Structure 1
Amino acid sequence: MKKIFKKSIIIPLLLAVFTFSCKDLSELNENPNGVGPETVNPNLVMPTVLTEAAKAYVNLGYMDIAGVVQHTQKDAWASSHNDYDWGGNQSWNAYYDILRNNDLLYNRAVETKFEFHQGVALVMKSFMFGLITDLWGDAPYTDALKGEAGAVTDILPAFDTQDKIYAGIIADLEKANTLLSKSKADYDGIVDNVDVYYGGDPTKWRKMANSLLLRYYMRLSIKQPDIAKAGIEKVIGNATQYPIITVPADDATMSFPGNSDQDSWPANSVYDASGSGYRRIKMCATLVEKLETLKDPRLGIWANKVEVPLVVDATQPAGTDKIVNGKRILSPDKVKNTVVDTDPDYVGLPPSFSALPSSYNLNPTPGQTSYNPHVSFLNNIYKQAKGPLLKARLISAAEVNFILAEAALRGWNAGTAKDRYEAGVKASMDTWTVGGSYATYIANPGVAFDKSIQQVIEQKWIASWTAATEAWFDFRRTGFPALKAGPAAKREVLPVRFYYMQDELQINKANAESAVSRLEITSYSQADKGNSAWSKQWLIQGTKKPW
């Protein structure tokens, strides 16, 4: 029985080995249930590109960059968010992964003659490369995405200069505008539900393309003002040829299904049982105080009122520290020289407050598991995995109108500055469900149009809530709002770029070092030298901005 058993195993194994040895190994590696890149339908690739791009953008604008522009601060695990302690190793790999998928989308769209998909892919290529160069500066562009070609120049690509990348982005958006200029019925291959931004609507994609044109032309407004002026005037001067986003219904947004942690609003408490991600994010005092000064109704949409206000009462006997009618009553000796915020409604966490930000405002439970009842939490909607206001917002009517208001104030033919400014404010308020308060708000001191670029940029900063990367790029270009680093920040001023990651500096050494050499070292670069978050990329070199 033993011999028969062994033969019954060995003989089939030998036959299997013999059979497979006659086959090409590439055949054995083929997944019979998979779809190869050479035959994949563009509609199978598009959702991955769109969802991953939107998630990457909101993860910047709602998380650490919201800390840089002082929309929010964290009271624990806060060093990168509050203090810009980024460690010099910020990776762009996930962004290039999106671009590789997008490149496949574009190539397959060309092969299948799906012009709508080609236009979408060019818009997303522009958006992602725009994000990369805005964050890092010079970056692989022309030779990027060619790794499979096998040449050394493809595997170790050169870094294109920032001006060349912007020029390429603008050219691609112009091409996308043309590709997306037909009616929906004239395109092949559109499947509405794979387009998670616009449901297969080429007209709205065309508006997104041209609105991004305005964004990137305005990026160049200080460094290349003639190009910026001509580009914006061209777009605005021909509304038929260059339709743009002017109302919130056309905003480029993505909702979250909320079915799992991977497709939900970031830092929610539905898939984080501890709720720590939500609990640690607090409103920043910089934003809270600005909104309160302007009597801005958006504050109540974004933040909760402070749970337990502080009251310092000089009539109380020494040693008083008690809760009365939901308020914490303190005698002056209990406060001493500690700075406290006794606002009865909203209290923000000051930027880069200290190495222990959870201690602010006499928090009774400082530390990593802190629950500070004396600082405003974000609104409860941000605990949820999904919701009507929980959207990644890639570009909006508010942003577009503020761009045009700034352009008009620079003397360019972009409409009436006051009308554009007010339209931007109204679009943001409508987006955040407080449009009914617009007439009162726009008449408030500090909100009523004062003909200054500073006011336009400050309202744009407010409107960029959860999309804070744009506020950072505007601050870097204009110096507005006049944000100041706090005492625990890594430097005395705000950073202006991301670090090139160590893998790139080591593996693609020559090209990366060449890019670093083109950065402008500043007095804040310090030991990081060229590759510093405080070294200036081409876009702001020689501008004396933002500091």
Structure 2
Amino acid sequence: MKKFNIKFITVLLGMLLAFGACHDLDDLNINPNNPDPEITDLNLLMPTIIINLGQGIVNLGIGDIAGVMQHTQKTGWSSGHNDYDWNNPGQSWGGFYDILRNADEFYNKAVEKELEFHQGVGLILKAYTFGMIADLWGEAPFSEALKAEQGPDFYKPVFDSQQDIYHGILAYLEEANTLLSKNSSEYTNINSTQDVLYEGDVSKWRKFANSLALRYYMRLQAKEPSVAQEGISKITGDPAKYPVITLAADEANVAYPGSSPGTSWPINMVFNIDPLGEYMRRKPCATLVEALQALNDPRLGVWAEKVEIPLVLVPGTGVDRIVDGKREISKDVEEAFLAKWEGEDNLYVDYDQEYVGIPVQTFSAQAYNLTPNYTQQAAYNPHVSQLNEMYKETSGALLQMRLLSAAEVNFILAEAALYSWAPGSPETYYDNGIKESFNAWDVADQFDDYIDGAGYNGLESIIQQKWIASWTAAAESWFDYRRTGLPDLQTGPSARREKLPLRFYYNINEDLSTNTANAEAAVARLEPTQYKGSDQTNNSAWSKFWLLQGTAKPY
């Protein structure tokens, strides 16, 4: 976790977070009420870019992707989160391109002023953001993106192949490593206060660049194994030239100032006091809860609250009463409740006395486990675990924008070592991945007891622990699932399809209607699967883009 001047950043963010006003790639209008990045001081752009990117990653990680990866389920207004109801009009990438416009302006200013630190930072931020677009949608504007000011030839940019985007961002990161390889004293115009990620620490930005490169080389593992092997071996074979993040102290995290709605943890109940609001709608998913319970994982207590009133099954008939803080019910009461939900033969009552999660994609999500007021969406349920109370707050030590963790890097190294692409033992990296996740979530003192029951057991164990460690950053575990099929997550009865989705839909109101020819060409190159269902074109969350085509993964 990085420390910075909270008072300064609070004031600064109040001015700068307005930069990201959404508009199409064609839109050249400038809002006179917002600062123009072209005339804004280079350093003043940095916190805006970092914060907007971090917020985007958190919104994915606790949003619909947390539902896909079965970290959470919603008990109200849940169809997108629980059931993948995404197709109309699709998901917008406008926010990411807003970030890229600022990042590109930042980079170009740095080149103009010959500021190598800022050039390196700009390339990392562009690589990260373009990478997310390619990860989520597939083909997208890249080589001709961000050039509309050069004239009409670039108003409707081509969609580059996903392969070219990945190779392009890896080239960005290689250049960033070179730019950031000098001694700190050789760089100028670094303002540590405005670098809300690393406080101007050049060495940490360099580790971020190379760790991000590891992420994207491993992304190519199933599709271009020789490229992945060469890149990972290059980085891991020369740690002096390519340092990476291996310790939680170096993670790419940004804290929330928490002084306004725009600078606060997004589901807090300070600025949004609605008892049916975003915090109350989200519950831990039974898939994650039960996996953590099987491992006796202390992170469960950090992320979730124990049930307020546990359920107890007792003998007799017609029994439904509160005794000593527990709700006692008889078997006939249980059966009457379950009978309300036709078509859910696997639905059950969870009598766990500590933690209870919502089963994945159940029609009874808002009523699950005998919710007293089960007709009200997002109503409080004393028989199901809530998210930890800290998630009601605007800020806190563990409320971070987690861009890239030491745990993730160690798990990448574990997988690479398993394939003999990196020196060292996969078990050692695996243990280190868990240890650094424990460090990040402040349960480091429980690692020794934990690891005896969660030992290394090949790729499945690596990906399972990486999935657990991606809490609040669930997009990365989705990307791992797509290329490996792990964890072996199954859908529930209310899911829109029988399998997990693979990508985001291109948005009807953006390029499908404004850059039609290029967008339709990209859609035509998608490969539909048997789970496309009612989607009328290949623009489906169940179509495979280049990265998955021919790999037989994840299905």
- Same-fold call, TM > 0.5? yes
> Do the aligned residues in 2 keep the contact of 1:158 with 1:511 (CA within 8 Å)?
yes
Comparing 79-88 with 217-226, which one deviates more in the overlay? 79-88
Q: Corresponding residue for 1:387?
A: 396
Alignment correspondent of 2:319: 320
**Alpha carbons 2:304, 2:386 under 8 Å: kept:** yes
Aligned pairs for 1:503-518 (under 5 A) are 503=509, 504-518=511-525
Aligned to 1:4: none
Instruction: Give runs of aligned pairs for residues 15-414 of structure 1, distance below 5 A.
Output: 37-88=37-88, 89-152=90-153, 154-275=154-275, 276-314=277-315, 316=316, 318-336=317-335, 338=338, 339-354=348-363, 356-366=364-374, 367-414=376-423
Quote the offset at 1:183 in angstroms: 2.1
Q: Contact conserved, 1:40 with 1:108, CA < 8 A, in 2?
A: no
Contact 1:75–1:358 (8 Å) recurs in 2:
yes
Kept in 2, the 8 Å contact 1:58–1:466? The answer is yes
Quick check: 356-365 or 216-225, which moved more? 356-365
In the TM superposition, residue 30 of structure 1 has moved relative to its aligned partner by 12
CA RMSD, 1 decimal: 1.4
Q: Which has the higher helix share?
A: 1
How many matched pairs?
511
C-alpha distance in structure 2 between counterparts of 1:189 and 1:39, whole Å: 17
Q: Distance in 1 between matches of 2:213 and 2:34?
A: 38
Contact 1:232 1:414 in 2 (8 A): no
- Counterpart position of 2:425: 416
Q: Distance in 1 between matches of 2:461 and 2:34?
A: 54
Cα distance in 2 for residues equivalent to 1:193 and 1:67: 36
Residues 9-35 of structure 1, C-alpha deviations (whole Å, 9 max, x = no match): xxxxxxxxxxxxxxxxxxxx997x997
**Matched letter for residue 354 of structure 2:** D
Change in Cα spacing, 1:326 to 1:185, as seen in structure 2 (3 Å) is: same
Mark the CA change 1:335 to 1:160 in structure 2 (over 3 Å): closer, same or farther.
same
Shift of 1:78: 0.6
* Equivalent pair of 2:286/2:356 in contact (CA under 8 Å): yes
Cα displacement string for residues 390-426 of structure 1 (whole angstroms, at most 9, x for unaligned residues): 0011111100000010111122234211110000010
With over 3 angstroms needed to count, the CA separation of the structure-2 counterparts of 1:387 and 1:30, relative to structure 1, is closer
Q: For 1:458 and 1:222, how far apart are their aligned partners in 2?
A: 18
The CA distance in 1 between the partners of 2:193 and 2:361, in whole Å, is: 43
| Partners of 1:442 and 1:458 in 2: CA distance | 14
TM-score w.r.t. the length of structure 1 is 0.92
One-letter amino acid of the structure 2 residue matched with residue 81 of structure 1: H
> What amino acid is the match of 1:189?
N
Alignment partners' CA distance in 2, 1:414 and 1:77 = 48
SS of the counterpart of 1:241? coil
Q: CA deviation at 1:38?
A: 4.6
- Helix, strand or coil at the partner of 1:502: coil
Q: Give, in whole Å, the separation in 2 of the partners of 1:187 and 1:436.
A: 39
In the alignment, is residue 449 of structure 1 matched against residue 450 of structure 2? no
Contact 2:497 2:533 in 1 (8 A): no
Change (3 A) 1:512 1:440: same
Q: Is the 8 A contact 2:409 2:433 kept in 1?
A: yes
Query: Rg bigger for which structure?
Result: 1
Counterpart in the other structure of 1:18: none
Give the letter for the 2:384 counterpart. V
Aligned to 2:503: 497
Between stretches 363-372 and 302-311, larger displacement belongs to 363-372
Report the 3-state secondary structure (helix = DSSP H, G, I; strand = E; otherwise coil) of the residue aligned with 1:358. coil
Q: Where does structure 1 lack aligned partners over 5 or more consecutive residues?
A: 1-28
In 2, distance between residues paired with 1:468 and 1:104? 29
Q: Quote the residue 1:520 is aligned against.
A: 527
2:548 paired with 1:540: yes
What is the 5 A alignment of 1:6-17?
Answer: none
Partner of 2:283: helix, strand, or coil?
strand
The answer to whether the 8 A contact 1:41-1:108 is kept is: no
CA deviation vs aligned residue, 1:181-233 (integer Å, no higher than 9, x gap): 12222111100111111011110000000000000000000000000001001
Q: Which residue number in structure 1 is paired with residue 485 of structure 2? A: 479
Taking structure 2 as the reference length, what is the TM-score of the superposition? 0.90
User: Does the 8 A contact of 1:283 with 1:376 survive in 2?
Assistant: yes
**Distance in structure 2 (CA, Å) of the matches to 1:379 and 1:342:** 20
Give the aligned partner of residue 438 of structure 1.
447
Aligned counterpart, 1:464: 470
| Aligned twin of 1:14 | none
The whole-number CA distance in structure 1 between the counterparts of 2:475 and 2:331 is 41
Task: Single out whichever of 198-207 and 107-116 deviates more from structure 2.
Answer: 107-116
Whether the 8 Å CA contact 1:346–1:376 is kept in 2: the answer is yes
| Partners of 1:540 and 1:74 in 2: CA distance | 29
Task: Give the CA deviation at 1:250.
Answer: 0.3
Q: Which residue identity is paired with 2:547?
A: L
Q: Give the counterpart letter for 2:335 in structure 1.
A: K
Residues 441 and 130 of structure 1: is their aligned pair in 2 closer, same or farther, counting only changes over 3 Å? same
Q: Deviations over 1:118-161 (max 9, x none)?
A: 10000000000000000000100000001111223x11011000
Q: Is the 8 A contact 2:361 2:492 kept in 1?
A: yes
Query: Would you say the 8 A contact 1:49–1:101 is kept in 2?
Result: yes
Whether the 8 Å contact between 1:220 and 1:228 is mirrored in structure 2 is: yes
Change in 2 beyond 3 A, CA 1:369/1:416: closer
Change (3 A) 1:188 1:324: same
CA distance 1:107–1:262, change in 2 (3 Å): same
Identity %: 53
Q: Does 1:425 align with 2:406?
A: no
Cα distance between partner residues in 2 of 1:462 and 1:40: 41
Equivalent residues of 1:141, 1:159 under 8 A apart: yes
Report the residue type matching 1:409 in the other structure.
L
Which secondary structure state, in structure 2, belongs to the residue aligned with residue 282 of structure 1? strand
**C-alpha displacement of 1:37:** 4.7
Residue identity matched to 1:319: G
